[in-house]
Copies of this chain bind each other. A is one copy, B any other.
Amino acid sequence: MSKVTVSIVGASGYTGGELLRLLLLHPDVEVKQVTSERFAGKPVSRTHPNLRKRTALKFSKLEELTECDTLFLCLPHGKSSTQLDRFTSLSDKIVDLSADFRLNDPAQYKEWYGGDHPAPEKMTEFVYGIPELHREEMKEAKWISSAGCNATTTILGLYPLFKAGVVDRERTVVEVKVGSSEGGNSFNEASHHPERSSCVRSFMPTRHRHTAEMIQELSFGEPAEIHFSATSIDMVRGVLATSHVFLNDSLEEKDIWKIYRSAYGDEPFIRIVKEAQGIYRMPEPKLLWGTNYCDVGFQKDPCSNRLVVVSAIDNLMKGAAGQAVQAFNLMYGFDETAALEFPGLHPV
C-alpha cells in the first residue's frame, strides 16, 4: 500500500516538532512538507535538534504548500479558522491542533475567546479530538480538532465519573500543575530561566480557556461546573491535574474502580495507577514524557464524600501531537498505537 502523505503547517514550534518526530517513524506515513515562515529553507534540525541525522527535510513557506492526504495544523490561535478554505482545498483530511475548532457553540467561543468565530458554521463539523470520548466519530471524520492539554488531562480524569452521574455537578474543583513547554517556544519575561526556575506561579487562578472544553465534554445533558485553576511549576513537559469531586452517594473505592475499569479497561493509552505502596502509587507526569499515555489514579477521603482524582499526561504528546496521531490512526484505520509505542523513561 502506498503511504499516506502528510504535511505540517506551522512546524517550527514545539508541537510541530513533536508531530514531526512521531510521523517520521510512522510506518504508513510520508511527511511531505513542513512549513515555517521564519525558518523557510533551513533544515528542520535548526529548531528541532533532536532530529539531527533523522531527516533531510527543510522548512517551506506556507505559500509553497501543495496537496497532500492529511494536513496537520499547528498554527497560533485564530489562524486555522481564517484560512480554513485554503487548507481544505489542499487536503481532504485535517487535524487542527489549535484552539479554533474545539468548541461547538459560537456563543461559548465568544464568551471564552472574546470575539466572534470567523467560521461558526464549521464548528460542529470538527470532531473533538479526545479518542477515548469520540473514537467512533473519528473513524468517519474528515476534520478533527485536537483538545487542549489541560482539558485533556482533566476530562480524561473525570469523564467516567461524570458519565456515570455519581458526582455533584456543581462542586468540582480542579487544579493543574503545568510545565513551561505549554507556553510554546516564544520566549518572554515569564519564561526567562531565572524567573521561571523553581517557580510556583498561579498564572491563571480563574478563567482558563480550557475550562470551556471541560464543560462541553463533561456535561451530559445537565451542565457541569468545573472550578479550574492553573499553576506553573519548574518542569518542562507534563501536566498533573488534581481534581476534587464530591460523590452523590456513599461509594467506596472499589465502586470507583469499577467505574474506571468499565470506562477505560480496553483503552490502549489509559492506565489506572493506584498502588498500595511504594513511591509510584499515583500518576506522575515525568514518567510519561514522550509517551501518549494518560495515567489516572484516585483516593477517597475517609472523612468526607470527597474523591481526589489525579491524572497526568505529557502536554506535547497526549495533550497535543500524540493525541493528534492517535486520532489520525483512527481516521485511516491504522493500528491505533502506530508511531506511539514509546514507553517512557525511568528515571528521568
Contacts and interface: CB of A to CB of B under 8 A. Distances in A.
A203 to B, nearest CB: 8
Contacts of A234: 197-198, 233-235
Interface string A183-202: 10101111111111111111
Contacts of A225: 304
A21 to B, nearest CB: 6
A231 B310 CA distance: 10
Given A54-B343, A235-B234, A200 B177 contact: yes
Interface string A160-189: 000000000001010101011101010111
B49 A207 contact: no
Given A193-B236, A206-B301, 14 more contacts: A45-B280, A50-B343, A52-B271, A177-B200, A180-B194, A181-B194, A192-B193, A194-B236, A198-B348, A200-B286, A202-B283, A202-B310, A237-B348, A289-B345
Interface of A: 14, 17-18, 21, 24-25, 45-46, 48-54, 171, 173, 175, 177, 179-181, 183, 185, 187-203, 205-207, 225, 227, 229, 231, 233-238, 240, 242, 244, 271, 273, 278-280, 282-287, 289-291, 295, 297, 299-304, 306, 308, 310, 312, 341-348
Contacts of A177: 177, 200, 231, 233
A199 B286 CA distance: 6
Stoichiometry (number of copies): 4
A235 B343 contact: no
A273 B205 CA distance: 14
B343 A51 contact: yes
A236 B195 CA distance: 9
Contacts of A197: 180, 193, 196-197, 234, 236
